[in-house]
Chain A
């Protein structure tokens, strides 16, 4: 039984291996972020296996099931860009994505993620956050000093001579 499995395993050609597809990780891949409101930063297909081949990224917008395709050439090693930026998406929407290499019919698994939402800048509360200690000290001490001087002036003018 084990021998049968080994033989079957050896007969499986290597190029039925799946292309890796994932969102880039800010901690590992040296990027700031991978999920944006209108784009995704995805890992590129392996440059040593698929470098210089033409590839397609098929993506589906989930609620409406609209299918779209982005064609590009997989860069050859060494790769300068960290990933593939899929642009012109809608914010707060879920997408299904899959790589496909032309000609060889290698595909990747399906990746499902949601774009982030944006907050409108008008909603930022730009009112006074808090009064600093410096401002309170300066105001109080100077107000007291002004009143003291006024009283002193009146006393010195009235009680002179």
Chain B
């Protein structure tokens, strides 16, 4: 390959590495956003033992920053036109590529277990809401907050509390059919009409279910890790192919 063509290839490798470094840093930032869990829905996945969306986010924090550093090293290795450095660069990038693949696949697969349909979330709510164990307290707090803020009741609707047996029914079933978090509140946080809500007056209770909100939040986290991770990986794949061609042309 002529010297001019080799220089041109070197510039292409450097440019692609610069873009991949920026993309890796953005992946690092997005994965931190997922791990911080601003919507505070972690107990729903943690209690069921299926918290791999968050595990994948932690892996993506590592691989995002590692891509950033390795691509900067790649720019340096390409400028030096050194075979040894390019080989080290290619091996390091391949190892990080494998980890990031694991993260993207794990997040996408785990999302299907959690929110493919409302059964798991509903069963967990019926089992742990109002339970006095540690998991019960976490689930109770999470559901109370979701029902009050999103203005919903139960997983698919208030009828979940009627159709199924639950820990809540065993503990409070003689007084309450559904939790008071399902009731509409005034801006002072007082329940608007407690007696009406306990009886089921339709204008005092939230009729829709919370599953749609939970599903949309967990899907948002998953798409951040798996689809954005996937697009960074496709860019890195393309970069590595060009870098391998460049490596083969160096002497």
A positions within 8 Å CB-CB of B? 26, 30-33, 36-39, 41, 80-83, 85, 87-88, 116, 118-122, 124-126, 128-132, 134-135, 138-139, 141-143, 145-146, 148-150, 152-153, 155-157, 159-161
Interface-lining segment among B25-33, B73-81, B103-111: B103-111
B positions within 8 Å CB-CB of A? 83, 87, 90-91, 94, 97-98, 101, 104-105, 108-109, 111-113, 116-117, 119-120, 122-124, 126-127, 158-159, 162-166, 169, 173-174, 177, 193, 195-196, 198-203, 205, 207, 226-227, 230, 233-234, 237, 240-241, 244-245, 247-248, 250-251
A30→B202 contact, CB < 8 A: yes
A139 CA / B122 CA spacing, docked (Å): 28
Q: How far is the CB of B76 from chain A (nearest CB, A)?
A: 19
In this complex, what residue of A is CB-closest to B109? A135
A139→B164 contact, CB < 8 A: no
22 inter-chain pairs at a CB distance below 8 angstroms, sorted by A residue, are: A32-B159, A38-B173, A38-B174, A80-B193, A88-B174, A118-B163, A128-B112, A128-B113, A130-B116, A132-B112, A132-B116, A135-B109, A138-B105, A138-B108, A146-B98, A152-B240, A153-B90, A153-B94, A156-B245, A157-B87, A159-B248, A160-B247
B166→A130 contact, CB < 8 A: no
Grouping DSSP codes into helix (H, G, I), strand (E, B) and loop, the B interface class, with mixed when no group exceeds half, is helix
Known: A119-B164, A142-B230, A153-B91. A87 touches B174 (CB 8 A): yes
Q: How far is the CB of B193 from chain A (nearest CB, A)?
A: 8
A135 CA / B227 CA spacing, docked (Å): 10
B109→A126 contact, CB < 8 A: no
Q: How far is the CB of A67 from chain B (nearest CB, A)?
A: 21
A145→B162 contact, CB < 8 A: no
B165→A85 contact, CB < 8 A: no
Contacts of B200 in A (CB 8 A): 31-33, 41
Q: How far is the CB of B247 from chain A (nearest CB, A)?
A: 5
A31→B202 contact, CB < 8 A: yes
A33→B162 contact, CB < 8 A: yes
B174→A132 contact, CB < 8 A: no
A138→B230 contact, CB < 8 A: yes
Contacts of B251 in A (CB 8 A): 161
B105→A139 contact, CB < 8 A: yes
Contacts of A142 in B (CB 8 A): 101, 104-105, 230, 233
Contacts of A33 in B (CB 8 A): 159, 162, 200
Known: A31-B201, A132-B112, A152-B240. A119 touches B234 (CB 8 A): no
A87 CA / B173 CA spacing, docked (Å): 10
Contacts of A32 in B (CB 8 A): 158-159, 200-202, 205, 207
Shortest beta-carbon contacts, A-B, top 7: A129-B116, A121-B126, A126-B120, A32-B200, A135-B108, A124-B123, A156-B244
A1 CA / B189 CA spacing, docked (Å): 67
Q: How far is the CB of B62 from chain A (nearest CB, A)?
A: 17
Contacts of A83 in B (CB 8 A): 199
A58 CA / B154 CA spacing, docked (Å): 34
A82→B177 contact, CB < 8 A: no
Contacts of B158 in A (CB 8 A): 32
A141→B230 contact, CB < 8 A: yes
A118→B90 contact, CB < 8 A: no
Contacts of B117 in A (CB 8 A): 129
Give the contacting residue for A149; candidates B94, B122, B123, B205; CB below 8 A: B94
A116 CA / B164 CA spacing, docked (Å): 10
Contacts of A139 in B (CB 8 A): 105, 108-109
Contacts of B226 in A (CB 8 A): 134, 138
